Structure 1
Amino acid sequence: MDLPDAIRKRLEDFSRNVLFDQSGTRTVARENDTFLPHDKRLLSSLHLQMSLYFNMWFFPLWWISEAVMLHLKYPALPDYYKFILVTVLILMTLIEAIRLFLGYSGNLQEQVPELAGFWLLSILLQFPLILFQLFNEAILIQPLERGVHIVLAIFILAQVCHTQGKESLSDVL
């Protein structure tokens, strides 16, 4: 299943201008590499793929624990936080499904627009939402929630770093 042409074109333009170098891709071959020609471009990342795989298996655990904790603390929350937390849970579920799909297809098929969409969803939507749930003490954060939010935030941060071609988090920080 491919992205519609209009979305693909916009993501290609974004990724060419913002995420990657002027040619639109990252060069993996080094000067002393003899097994890859210097004009060969690769976009897939084993680290990103492993992180996506483990995230795919962790997300249902995160969702179940978040739903149970929301059910338990729901009566003690103010009405506006009840609405906000239910909305955030629904949004994060939809965004995470789309984000993981784009990450998988973009990384495995070496498609830059899908990786750009994955990166944008991660940075602009998913990371701020998980930080909201992690640091807003007014939503009565439980220890289980804090733990699973930290793990999901680490997954998202690691995936964003690997999408940018970084070897580790220390390269970004």
Structure 2
Amino acid sequence: MAAHTPLPPNLRRGLVAFSGSLFINNKTRDSGAAHSYHPAHEVLASLPLQMMLYFNVYYFPVWFLAEGMMLQLKYQLLPQHYQFLLVTAFLILSLVEGSRLYLGYVGNLQEKVPELAGFLLLSFLIQLPLLLFLLTDSHLIRLPLEMAVHSLLLAFLLAEMAAAFLALKTMTKQLVAQFYLRQLKEGGRGWPGQGGRGSQAAKEG
């Protein structure tokens, strides 16, 4: 049974359009690729991405607990504005990570372009800047355990982004190939009828 997706229809259409504009540059080339499309023999889900998502799901609670403990230890030593920034970054990372992993699972396993595009955008626009902020800002009193767990999460994130980019590129091109193949089939069914009407008109004339 297909998993429910939280994405609204308008957002799904926007993500599909974004993916198409990002990866589809030559419609003629894609139209030609549609002739060799074999939907029954090709799986588009990325195994490397799925493996990384699987391990990331188990690693995320470890990161959450470690970062929570480190935050509690150094909270009183930080300036007030850094206390606010650190707590905000921790909360946003924690909340977004669950949604990001869910979209990655659904988008990859069910080969859904909008969900996978959403996964990639959340990774690039939210998680990556926040992790880099936590790793590079010297005023945050970076503890050794904190640096270790952040670095491992960053490694997961970068690898998942690369794998998701390649998977999304493949899925988007395949989606366009299916569209052109469907157009060719529908056009082929329409031609005999048009020819028949032309012959009938010629006989009547």
Q: TM-score normalised by the shorter chain: which range applies?
A: 0.7 to 0.9
- What secondary structure is seen at the aligned counterpart in 1 of 2:166? coil
Deviations 1:69-118 (A, max 9, x none): 00000110000010111111110011101100100000000001101000
CA separation in 2, counterparts of 1:104 and 1:44?
10
Q: Does 1:39 align with 2:37?
A: yes
Matches within 5 A, 1:38-117: 38-40=36-38, 42-117=43-118
Q: Which runs of no fewer than 5 residues in structure 2 stay unpaired? A: 168-205
CA separation in 2, counterparts of 1:79 and 1:53?
37
Check conservation: 1:134, 1:149, Cα contact below 8 A. yes
Matched pairs, number: 155
Letter in 2 for 1:112: V
Q: Which has the higher helix share?
A: 2
Aligned counterpart, 1:154: 155
CA separation in 2, counterparts of 1:78 and 1:93?
22
Larger radius of gyration: 2
Q: CA offset at residue 160 of structure 1?
A: 0.5
CA separation in 1, counterparts of 2:84 and 2:131?
16
Aligned counterpart, 2:24: 21
Letter in 1 for 2:101: L
CA separation in 2, counterparts of 1:101 and 1:38?
32
Aligned counterpart, 1:5: 9
Q: Greater relative contact order (Cα 8 A, min sep 6): structure 1 or 2?
A: 2
Q: Which runs of no fewer than 5 residues in structure 1 stay unpaired? A: 28-36, 167-173
Check conservation: 1:119, 1:163, Cα contact below 8 A. yes
Aligned counterpart, 1:132: 133
CA separation in 1, counterparts of 2:51 and 2:119?
15
Q: CA offset at residue 21 of structure 1?
A: 2.9
**What RMSD, in angstroms, separates the aligned Cα atoms of the two structures?**
2.1
Alignment TM-score, normalising by the size of structure 2:
0.71
Alignment TM-score, normalising by the size of structure 1:
0.84
Letter in 1 for 2:95: L
- What secondary structure is seen at the aligned counterpart in 2 of 1:165? helix
Q: CA offset at residue 55 of structure 1?
A: 0.5
CA separation in 2, counterparts of 1:100 and 1:54?
11
